[in-house]
Structure 1
């Protein structure tokens, strides 16, 4: 049995060779290395956004705690630290402006309250809010 030249050419061209596969794997590796900085930056940004979201939640929680106080003496300044789920230590500070008036005729009043959340490692303020809290009695 003799093999015609056209059929032998088809047999030699069937499939991919080892060189073609190695070159395509090399090109894919180059593309993966080129996109690696974008992936690293995305992971860093995601972590920073998670810490920022935690700071905002803490500010909202402390403002709700301040609004829940019905008396002027219940509104007190406080400072405490919280550990973020990513391991970042956050400092929450609630400040109360002004003092409670002694005269009962001075009520109802509004008391200024400010809440600030700060990263302890960098000192950066993540979130802050100011509000006036309505107080009916001392």
Structure 2
């Protein structure tokens, strides 16, 4: 068994030195910092899409509820607030009749039936007031 006494590493010594490991960790840290904005943007978009999905479900539910009514008097305007899964409070507003006029939207004359009544549903965030989702339709009713 031979032993070298001069303290130098021979050509058969393999492995990484401390400098190589530090440089590779520094390069990995630079890559991680470069991808950080993409991660933040992805999380932000995910939360916005979550609120949008909740608002769209609320609009669909209100529209289906309005379509289920067969009489004009059963179609009523409603307003209520609901928190979504993230805790954002959404205000749901269903309007019946023309948006620009105030008053009854059902015809007073019974000979006017069947008729279509305009219905609109709007979902807005209560913290910012921004409309997240909305829809308008005509509901066919057969009686007052």
TM-score by length of 2: 0.87
Whether 1:122 aligns to 2:124 is no
Where do residues 34-45 of structure 1 align in structure 2 (5 Å cutoff)?
Answer: 34-45=34-45
Q: Which residue of 2 aligns with 1:8?
A: 10
Instruction: Name whichever structure is richer in helix by fraction.
Output: 1
Shift of 1:3: 7.1
What is the CA–CA distance in structure 2 between the aligned matches of 1:99 and 1:15, rounded to whole Å?
83
Whether 1:103 aligns to 2:109 is yes
Q: CA RMSD in A?
A: 1.7
* Structure 2, unpaired ranges of 5+: 98-103
What is the CA–CA distance in structure 2 between the aligned matches of 1:69 and 1:126, rounded to whole Å?
25
What is the CA–CA distance in structure 2 between the aligned matches of 1:43 and 1:24, rounded to whole Å?
28
**Any idea what SS the aligned residue of 1:131 has?**
strand
1:84-107 per-residue CA deviation (whole Å, 9 max, x = no partner) reads 101100000000015222222111
What is the CA–CA distance in structure 1 between the aligned matches of 2:36 and 2:45, rounded to whole Å?
14
**Any idea what SS the aligned residue of 2:128 has?**
coil
**Any idea what SS the aligned residue of 1:10 has?**
coil
Name the count of aligned residue pairs: 134
Whether 1:23 aligns to 2:23 is yes
Whether 1:82 aligns to 2:62 is no
Shift of 1:70: 1.0
Q: Which residue of 1 aligns with 2:139?
A: 133
What is the CA–CA distance in structure 1 between the aligned matches of 2:120 and 2:41, rounded to whole Å?
33
